[in-house]
Every structure is written in structure tokens, then in C-alpha cells.
Amino acid sequence: MGAKIKKKTWKRFIKWGVIAAVIVAVVLYFRNAAGNVAQSLYNEDKASLRDIQTYHTFTGTTEPVDSLDVIPSVTGVKVTEVMVEVGDEVKSGDVLMTLDTYNIQNQIDQLSASMDVSDTQSAISIAQAQKSYDDLKYEIDNGLNTQLQNALNGIDTAFASLVTAQENYNNEVELNNRQLSDKISTAIHNVDTAYSTVSNAQTSLSRAQEDLSKAEDNGLSGDSLTQYKRAVEDAQTSVDSAWDSYNYAVSMYEAAKMKEEDSLTSLYDNLITAQINYLNAIDSYNAAVLSVNQELEGYQLTIQSAVAGSNDSVNQLKLADLQKQLSDCTITAPMDGIVSKLPAEEGSYVQAAGSVATVTDYSQMKIAVKIGEYDILGVDEGDSVIVSIDALDATYDGTIKKIARDATVQGGVSYFEAEVEIEADEVVRSGMSAEVKLIIEDVKQVVSVPSAAVVADSNGEYFVYVKDPADPKNTTPVQTPVTIGVTDGSYTQITQGLSEGDDILVPKTDSMALLMQEMSDRRDGASSTDGGANE
């Protein structure tokens, strides 16, 4: 009985020992499996300093910026000599070819001869008209023109008559106002004399009457009294006679006054006539001046007409055009460059609007590119670009020269046509494929990690996996929050959260599902083993 018990105890000890060993093996297995899973899911890397650029990329083909067709302005003219060949380098102004000038030169000679004859005839007409004008102008300036001199003499004569008439009238008016004219003064003297005679006769009559009264008072009679009466009668007769003389003198005075008025009227009429004659003389002079000026203007018009007749501006234009045609018969290079096409040859004729040569400047090349509507923001004319030509394995500095203002829509996609220019070397040829890079951002020596290392959570926050410092074997990745900056797709700038040299884990996103399945299978297998042990 005791032996059985001892044997049973030993078996139980062995059983639990086996179970413990299995448990230890499972724990070690999963610990190693976890380490293997971590190695399978992540690549180890470090945060490091890098230059990061972001850019837009466009493609196109190279072509010359300047390529000019040489199109002569003359047509139907034969090419007489060609001085260049395709591929020749030329400078602006170099002669490329010459055209036949015989017909044009012949037209120039004929037109020049005709213009010389016309110029001679016009010069004679102008000289004659100028002489007539100068002669008349000399007569006027030196007082030799008969018409003007007669008019001036008429003014002088009329003015002298006006002055005389004015003086006669003024003198007569003054004498009349002072009553000093001969007629008036004589009449007044006669009136005064007659009045004095009346006064004397009146005095004699008064004395005779007094004497008669005294004689009557004294009682005289007879012949003595009759003598006094006769004396009174004689005195009365003298008074009456004196009054008659006085009245006559007064009437003569009135008559003299009337004659004086008639004389003033006559002198006034003479004054008015003299004034009219003077004004007429002035009008005659003005008319003479007008006539002479009109004659001068007539000569001026004759000169102008002669000058207009000599104006051969139409012929001058024709001559200039022919001379330009003559000059255009020497075909020159319009710019520096290479003769890229030469369709004209000696003996051929220039056709209307036909090119006889093409000069191309290959030192400046352009690339036509299409900029998408979502890339156009921030792209401006004048921006610098990098142009890569794969066929040459070379890059060139370029500039955006033109950007269309209107978008082109093709297949429902909008884009803007643009041109990029570069300074080309001798190896760049027209038609080569080119890639244009427009740098958007360019940062130097910034902390960065592979872009695959940066993960975004459901809140849009970014983090990077690093090894867990609390895990002795660093088998468990830890999320470290970071702030990102510029990214070029391969690498991303870390502005906060990491420093240069920090260890990071980069997820292997393409193999994660497979490894997760592997871990799941291993866990399932471990569970089955554990179950068998329990049994």
C-alpha cells in the first residue's frame, strides 16, 4: 500500500513538472514570437538632418524662342545669288542673298529725270511770282506806289481845306458873338448915330417949345410969335426926320444881322463839306490800301500756287518706295542665329508672302507646358525653374515667361498654357523632351524621417513609432506625437517631437496583415498544446 502511494505521488510530481515545463516553453515561445513580430512589422531607422524640396513637375518639348522667316517685301523678282547654306551661323545684317534690281533701277532713273524737269519749271514760276511780290512790297515800303501816294495827297488836300473852313467858321462865330463883324459894327454905328440925332432933335424941339411958351407968356404976337411957332415946327420936323433916320438905321441893323446869319450858315456848310471831303479822302486811302494788299495777297497766292505746283511729294513717295524696293533686293539676316531653312535658290523667283530663308536663334530655347488648375496657385511669370533634359542627362536654369490668363479645357480637365525659357548650350536641340520643376518649398538640414514613419490617428494627429524604453527587450512599439512640416513624399520634416539621432520604427505596411495572421496562428497552436498538456 505504501509502495503504491509512493509511486502515485511520483507520477503526480512528474505530471506537474511536465506542465510547468510546457508553461515555461509557451511563455518563452510567445516572448520570442513577439520579438519576431516586431522585427517583421517595423524597420529600425533614425531621425536625421536632410534638405527637403517640394515642387510641381511639368513636361514639354524644347523649341527655339526666336525663329524668323525671311520674307522679302518685293515679289516676282529673281534670286541672282545666294551667299549662305543651311547650318551657317549669321549675324544680324549679314547678306543672305541678292535679287535682280534691273527693272527697279530703270524705274528710278525715269522718275528721277521727270522730277528734275518738273523742278526746273516750278523754280521759274516761283521766281517770277516772288519778284512781282517783292517789287510791289518795295514800292509800298518806300512810298513809291502811285495809288497809295495819290490817296495820301487827297487826304492832305482835304485836311487842309477842312482846317481852313473850320478856322473861317470859328472866326465868324467869334466876331458875331462879339458883334465885331464889319456889317454888324457899321449897322450899330448907324443906329447909334441916328439915335444921337433923335436926341439932339428932341432937345432942340424942347427948347423951341420953351421959347414959344415964354413968348406967349410975354404977350408977343404977330411975326415975332409966328417966328417962334415956325421954330417949333422946324424942330418937330427935325425930330420926325431923326426918328425916320433912326428907324431906318435899326432896320439896316436887323438886315445886317440876317446877312451875318446867312454868312455863318454858308461858312458852316463849307465846314461840313470840308469834313465830308476829308472822310471821303480817308475812305479812298483805305480803299487804296486794301487794293494794294489784295494785290500783294494775289502775288502770295501765285507764289503758293507755284510752290504747290512744284510739290512732287507723290513722286517723292514713289521714288522712296522704289529706293526701298531696291534696298530690299539685298536680303539680310534679321537677327543673329543659324540658317535653319533655305528654300530659295539662284534663278528662282520670290513669291508673294513666300519665305526665302529661316534664321533661328538656338541660344534661347523655350518649353511649352500645361499647368493644372490646382497647381496654378502660387505660380507666377518670372518664377525660376529647373529644366531637366533626359536625353542629355543635363539640367538648366529656366524662367517662366508666359502664363495664359484663360484656361484651356480638354476632356473635362482645365489647364493653363505656359512657356518656360532657358539659355541653351550647343547640345540642346529643338524637339527634345524636357521636365520642368518649379520648387514650391526648400528647407535645409531639418530633422526628418521617412514619410512612411509618420502615421495619423483618427483625430488627424500625427505620431511616430519608437521602441518602448520600459520594455527590456524593446519588443513593444510606442507612439510618440510629432508635428510635421515640409514633405517631398519620401521624407517628412519633424518640427516638434523628435531630435536628430532619435531611433524610430518605420511600419512595413505591405506585410503587416501577413504577420498578424502568423501571430494569430501561433497563438492558436499554443492554445492547442496547452489544452493537450492539461489533459
Q: Which three cell numbers stand for residue 344?
A: 530659295
User: Does residue 74 contact residue 329 with C-beta atoms inside 8 Å?
Assistant: yes
Coil, helix or strand for 348?
coil
Dihedrals φ, ψ of 392, to 5°? -105, -10
Q: Which three cell numbers stand for residue 361?
A: 536663334
User: Does residue 205 contact residue 232 with C-beta atoms inside 8 Å?
Assistant: yes
**What is the per-residue pLDDT for 30?**
45
DSSP 381: T
**What is the per-residue pLDDT for 347?**
87
**What is the per-residue pLDDT for 193?**
87
Q: Which helix (H) or strand (E) holds 109?
A: helix 102-141
Give the separation between CA 334 and CA 339, rounded to whole angstroms. Answer: 11
Give the separation between CA 215 and CA 219, rounded to whole angstroms. Answer: 6
Percent of the chain that is helix, strand, coil (3-state, to 5): 50, 25, 20
User: Does residue 430 contact residue 66 with C-beta atoms inside 8 Å?
Assistant: no
445 phi-psi bin (left φ>0, alpha ψ -120 to 50, beta other)? left
User: Does residue 46 contact residue 447 with C-beta atoms inside 8 Å?
Assistant: no
Residue-wise pLDDT tens digits, 514-528 = 344 445 444 544 444
Q: To the nearest 10°, report the CA torsion of 274, 280, 285, 290.
A: 170
**What is the per-residue pLDDT for 36?**
52
Closest CA to 403 of 416, 414, 422: 416
User: Does residue 331 contact residue 72 with C-beta atoms inside 8 Å?
Assistant: yes
From the number of C-beta atoms within 10 Å of its C-beta (0-12, 13-18, 19+), residue 426 rates as exposed
Residue-wise pLDDT tens digits, 400-450 = 999 999 999 998 899 999 999 999 888 999 899 999 988 888 899 999 999
From the number of C-beta atoms within 10 Å of its C-beta (0-12, 13-18, 19+), residue 535 rates as exposed
Closest CA to 464 of 456, 477, 476, 454: 454
Dihedrals φ, ψ of 334, to 5°? -75, -15
Closest CA to 303 of 118, 134, 142: 134
Residues in the chain predicted with pLDDT less than 70, given as ranges, are: 1-40, 172, 174-183, 260-262, 310, 509-535
**What is the per-residue pLDDT for 366?**
93
